Amino acid sequence: MKRILALLLATGLVLSGCGKSDTSSTASTPAAAPTTAAPSAGARKLVIGLLPKAKGNGYFVSCAKGAQEAADALGDTLIFDGPTNDDAGKQNEIVDNWINSGVDVIAVSAENKDGLSTALRQAEAKGIKVISFDADVQPDARTFFVNQATPQGIGYKLMDEAARLCGNSGEFAIITATLTADNQNEWKKYIDEDLAKNYPNMKLVDFRPCDDDTAKAQAVATTLMSAHPDLKLIMAISSKAVPGAAEAVKQAGKIGQVHVIGLGLPSENKDYVHAGVTDSVILWKTEELGALTVQVADALAKGTLKPGDKSFTVGDKTYTIDGDNVLLGEPFVFNKDNIDQFNF
């Protein structure tokens, strides 16, 4: 009996030891959530839960970095947690746990719009403020959506950048994700609109899918260049397609002759941008997105931001609110002058 008890005690100790060493080790990782100590009686610290689609994703890690800085500045406690696998139920479970552990505001980027809304409505019913960022939920399940970029903003920015590089005339082609992808088709609509309205001498000669696959994008880009010898620019509107198109141009020895632009992460395109293959990638500043999300969450909980407001001011920056969408603003152009400042 004694031996078994000793073993059990040892097991318990090891288990609790694991728990403890875990908390200390997370302190060094920037993305990890700070442990929330019991709030001291006097100081009322807001607790904000930030839920990404996937925790390890570089895009969200970068959002979290900006969010943490904003939370520190405001004196709020930020909890950053999200699924580590693709289990659709995990986001709901995290929201349930946040409801139970008494967070004040929950900010989510939804992997499953409808599924997550079910849990968020429960949070709202318990008096917790809910906002979304990056990927929206059902409008009745949150107060505000922090919108990183409107389809119009993205479409026009891409087309304007393409026209600038081509000197407002010439042939260009688009590589998209899939022909049925909602986001991409929405962007394409505004690319077409800008093209028809402002650039009569530019000509879109092809629109091809790459199935979100870099290798396939490379093959598609190679085909495009041989099918259209006068091609001046390839616009890749799937983040996987940008490095693929750049590699194809590089291997064809057409650097400078065929320009590459697209919507992608700076880190994945840095080398091509410096080599002069890719001229620019367009995206929003993810850290600013994370920071704005926390600022909106904070203001909503403190009552300084209310539904129906038309704008939201932080320091010397003012963000437009369109309905219940807080707009981050114009997409950002990453090129060889600034791309090294960003590591997502």
Partner 1 sequence: MSASTHQSGGAKAVFRSHEFILFVVLVAEWIFFYFAGTSKNYSGATVGFGTLDAQFDIMRHSCEIGLLALVMTPVILTGGIDLSVGSVLGFSAIVFGKLWRDGHLPIDIAMLGALATGALAGGLNASLITWLRLPPLIVTLGTYSLFRGLAEAVAHDGDTFTNFPASFINLGNERWLGVPEQLPILAVVAIAVWLLVHRTTFGRSFRAIGFAPEGARYAGLPVERRLALAYVLAGTVAALAGIIYTARLGQAKADDGTGYELFAITAVVLGGTSIFGGTGSVHGTLLGVAAVAVLTDGLSLAHWPREAGGVLTGLLLILTLTASVLPKMLSNRRSHRQTGPSTPQPSPPSP
Which residues sit at the interface with partner 1, rule CB under 8 A?
1, 3-4, 7-8, 11-12, 14-16, 18-19, 22-23, 26, 32-39, 44-45, 55, 79, 81, 83-89, 92-94, 96-97, 99-102, 112, 114-115, 117-119, 122, 180
CA dihedral sign of residues 219, 220, 221, 223: positive
What are the C-alpha distances in Å from 299 to residues 124, 142, 296, 314?
A: 17, 15, 5, 10
Give me the least distance between CB of 114 and partner 1, in Å please. Answer: 4
Give me the least distance between CB of 84 and partner 1, in Å please. Answer: 6
Give me the least distance between CB of 39 and partner 1, in Å please. Answer: 6
How far, in Å, CA of 130 to CA of 52, rounded? 14
User: Tokens representing 164?
Assistant: 């600038």
**Nearer Cβ to partner 1, position 51 or 225?**
51
**Nearer Cβ to partner 1, position 14 or 227?**
14
Give me the least distance between CB of 146 and partner 1, in Å please. Answer: 23
Contact 158, 263 (CB under 8 A): yes
Contact 51, 109 (CB under 8 A): yes
SS3 call for 334: strand
**Nearer Cβ to partner 1, position 23 or 313?**
23
Give me the least distance between CB of 336 and partner 1, in Å please. Answer: 36
**Nearer Cβ to partner 1, position 96 or 160?**
96
Phi, psi for residue 81 in degrees, rounded to 5: -150, 150
Give me the least distance between CB of 116 and partner 1, in Å please. Answer: 8
Give me the least distance between CB of 236 and partner 1, in Å please. Answer: 22
**Nearer Cβ to partner 1, position 1 or 303?**
1
In order, the DSSP letters of 199-253 are -TTEEEEEEEE-TT-HHHHHHHHHHHHHH-TTEEEEEE-STTHHHHHHHHHHHTT
Contact 152, 190 (CB under 8 A): yes
What are the C-alpha distances in Å from 82 to residues 28, 135, 256, 280?
A: 18, 14, 42, 31
Which contiguous run of DSSP H or E holds residue 13?
Answer: helix 2-26
Give me the least distance between CB of 301 and partner 1, in Å please. Answer: 12
SS3 call for 169: coil
**Nearer Cβ to partner 1, position 56 or 167?**
56
**Nearer Cβ to partner 1, position 80 or 145?**
80
Phi-psi region of 223 (alpha: psi -120 to 50; beta: other; left: phi over 0): alpha
102-136 burial: b if 16+ Cβ within 10 Å, else e: ebbbbbbbbbbeeebbebbbbbbeeebbbbbbbbb
